[in-house]
Amino acid sequence: MKNLRQQTIRFYLKHLARYKVLTAVSIFSIVMAISLSMVFPVIYKEFIDTIVEAEVVDDAVRTLLTLLAIMVGVDFANMMCWRALLYTMSVLETNVMRNILDECFEHLHRHSYNFFNNSFTGGLVKKMNRISYAFEGIFDIIIFEFIPIAIRTIIANGVLLYLSWKLGVPLLIWSVFFIVFSYFVTLYKIKHYDLKSVRADTKVTANLADTIMNNINIKLFANLNKETIKFKKVSEDWRKKKKASWFFGTHVETVQGVFALALNALLMFVAIKLWQQGEITVGDFVLVQFYLLELFRQLWHFGHNLQRLYERFADAEEMTKVLNTDWEIQDAPDAQKIKIVHGRVEFKNVRFSYEDGTGVIKGLSLKIKPSEKIALIGPSGGGKSTVTKLLLRLFDVGKGKILVDGHDISKVTQDSLRKQIALVPQDPILFHRTIIENIRYGRLGASDKEVMAAAKLARCHDFIKKFPKGYKTYVGERGVKLSGGERQRVAIARAILSNTKILILDEATSSLDSESEKLIQEALHNLMKNKTTFIIAHRLSTIVNMDRIIVLNDGKIVEEGTHTELIRQKNSLYERLWGLQVGGYLE
């Protein structure tokens, strides 16, 4: 936890260092503003002493007018310092928060495919937003709370020590004791009460989210009463822990209040005695009370502000973990951009397995010629999708090499490799943007005319024109406003527009109605021209015309050849799968 906090502080300081002048101006402005505000009690002291001790009214009036002019000048200077602070803080904090978001965005998206598979999307979004807003909270607490507390404490103690050590020493001892006491009590409260309350709050949120997402199940199985009872237990646990936290805070504030009252009474008693002895004036007496009330007001909230500071750090530290997690897939230091001209692919004794031991590839060796169309088939878990993920370098191989046009893909940049391999997945996910933007994502510099040409080849131009806004139609989050077949054709149009030499079709026609599949098959025929193509398919009827069919089982190639060659191999896995799908259906 401490190490994470130090990393968070270093991260924030790194961004603040880009704005040294603004940071310095902010600190200088608040120091001056608070220092000037502490001058007012001194001026009031002089006002009172002048009035009380006046012997000649006209002389007193002249002094009072001079003091009034000084007061106006100090007030104006104080106002200007606050204006300078607020304007500077507005520029500084928004710039830093933007830079934090920018760095987090880029760093987050450079994490691997596997990282996102193991993370909740909503959680990552929250973490990224929290670290930015946490900076605002932390910097505000330091500038508007802790620096003023420090300045007021120093000035108040200094002035009272100047007036009389009998006033200054007790206040100094009490101030140090109060700050140290508040610090350790706050840490104890956070550790023993607040963390338990936060965990209980998390359970309430998790239970609520789980039941909302599964609301249809609750209705279908008529289990609302059971879920309500379960939720009440969780919320009651939260109530008890929250109450304990608040009660402890109230107990501490009560103790602090007693100490403050005792100190106030003590110092006022000492002040009375000093006035009686002629060591201080009436104005000094008022000055002491001014400073005590201001100091009590500031220190009273010290523990609360310290707790807020720790809460903001806790918000930020979740994203700090992400920022300090190394990217799983990284470019080699001397990685060069690849230019795929032919589309020749070779797997050389490739071995791989996921962290949980699944998806094992066992010594895969395979050569694919330029523009060759191959199909990857086999039982679920046999390694079909894993092969294409390795080609895209979404994972690094354990052993062996993957070569594209003779280049080892581990030694080229990831972006240049992926930009030249088009993927049409089983369930394409579209951005919540317009259709034209989604298609153009395949080649950002493409003109509207080129986008529409790709859409026509993908057989999606006609349905797009039926929308009132045509190509300017927004598709909704993840493309939910389009049907499955429409999303698929938009994804194919995007792949056509990218015009890459290597193409991967991952179950591109599964789960579609016959009419949609016919349109998509036509679009795929246009897409595959002159491209090295990998097709992953469970429906064998869709891959009978491939140049070569690779049968994978348990991470190994068990059979390969054309459809005609494989169907003639008696007792082969391909023949058995074909019999189950086609022969069984015909029977």
**Residue 484's domain is classified under what CATH number?**
3.40.50.300
Measured CA to CA in angstroms, residue 177 lies from 170, 173, 259, 424 at distances of: 10, 6, 10, 67
**Residue 270's domain is classified under what CATH number?**
1.20.1560.10
Q: 1: how many CB neighbours lie within 10 A of its CB?
A: 8
Structural domain contains residue 417: no
> What is the separation of C-alpha 324 from the centre of its chain, rounded to a whole number of angstroms?
13
Instruction: Give the start-end residues of each E strand in 235-341.
Output: none
List strands edge to edge, sheet with 345-352.
361-368, 345-352, 399-404, 407-408
Length of the chain, in residues: 587
Element of type H or E holding 535? strand 532-536
Question: Domain end: 279, 303, 323, which one?
Answer: 323
Alpha helices in 481-513 (DSSP H): 484-498
Phi, psi of 536, rounded to the nearest 5 degrees: -100, 125
150 shares a domain with 11: yes
434 shares a domain with 319: no
192 shares a domain with 76: yes
Structural domain contains residue 272: yes
Q: Determine the longest span between alpha carbons in the chain, in angstroms.
A: 126
- Would residue 415 be called left, alpha or beta, if left means φ above 0 and alpha means ψ between -120 and 50 degrees? alpha
- pTM summary value: 0.79
Tokens standing for residue 62:
């002249």
Q: DSSP string covering 324-373, please?
A: TSPPSS---TT-B----SS--EEEEEEEE--TTS-S-EEEEEEEE-TT-E
Residue 344 burial by CB count (10 A; 0-12/13-18/19+): exposed, middle or buried?
Answer: buried
Structural domain contains residue 301: yes
CA gap 298, 305 in Å, rounded: 10
Structural domain contains residue 53: yes
Look at residue 24 in the predicted model and tell me its pLDDT. Answer: 95
Tokens standing for residue 210:
């789980």
Q: Any bridge partners for residue 422, and if so which?
A: 503
Beta strand pairing call for 532-536 and 502-506: parallel
Q: Any bridge partners for residue 541, and if so which?
A: none
CA gap 493, 266 in Å, rounded: 83
Question: Domain end: 484, 499, 514, which one?
Answer: 499
Look at residue 585 in the predicted model and tell me its pLDDT. Answer: 43
Question: Domain end: 302, 323, 344, which one?
Answer: 323
Structural domain contains residue 494: yes
Nearest to 324 by CA among 567, 131, 485: 131
Contact (Cβ atoms closer than 8 angstroms) between residue 517 and residue 535? no
Contact (Cβ atoms closer than 8 angstroms) between residue 417 and residue 338? yes
Tokens 């897939």 — which residue? 329
Contact (Cβ atoms closer than 8 angstroms) between residue 267 and residue 168? no
Task: Write the single-letter amino acid at 77.
Answer: A
Structural domain contains residue 587: no
433 shares a domain with 319: no
CA gap 317, 182 in Å, rounded: 24
444 shares a domain with 309: no
CA gap 264, 450 in Å, rounded: 80
Residues 6+ apart with CB under 8 A from 346: 366, 367, 368, 401, 402, 403
Look at residue 94 in the predicted model and tell me its pLDDT. Answer: 94
CA angle 49, 51, 54 (to 5 degrees): 95
Tokens 């507005």 — which residue? 90
Look at residue 151 in the predicted model and tell me its pLDDT. Answer: 92
13: three-class secondary structure by DSSP:
helix
CA gap 430, 434 in Å, rounded: 10
216: three-class secondary structure by DSSP:
helix
Give helix 165-189 / helix 147-163 axis angle, nearest 10°. Answer: 150
96 shares a domain with 221: yes
State how many domains the chain has.
2
Beta strand pairing call for 532-536 and 373-377: parallel
Q: Average pLDDT for consecutive 10-residue bins of the chain (587 residues)?
A: 82 94 95 92 84 75 87 93 95 94 90 79 79 92 92 88 84 84 80 78 80 83 88 91 86 81 82 81 82 79 81 84 86 90 92 75 90 88 86 90 93 91 84 90 90 87 89 82 83 87 80 64 77 86 86 88 86 82 51
Structural domain contains residue 308: yes
433 shares a domain with 296: no
509: three-class secondary structure by DSSP:
coil
CA angle 101, 133, 324 (to 5 degrees): 55
Contact (Cβ atoms closer than 8 angstroms) between residue 458 and residue 489? yes
Residues 6+ apart with CB under 8 A from 368: 344, 345, 346, 374, 532, 534
Contact (Cβ atoms closer than 8 angstroms) between residue 239 and residue 247? no
Residues 6+ apart with CB under 8 A from 24: none
Contact (Cβ atoms closer than 8 angstroms) between residue 22 and residue 87? no
Nearest to 482 by CA among 465, 500, 463, 469: 463
Contact (Cβ atoms closer than 8 angstroms) between residue 16 and residue 133? no
Look at residue 584 in the predicted model and tell me its pLDDT. Answer: 46
CA gap 505, 517 in Å, rounded: 14
Structural domain contains residue 208: yes
**Which residue range(s) make up the domain with 457?**
428-499
Contact (Cβ atoms closer than 8 angstroms) between residue 92 and residue 26? yes
453 shares a domain with 318: no
Q: Any bridge partners for residue 548, and if so which?
A: 374
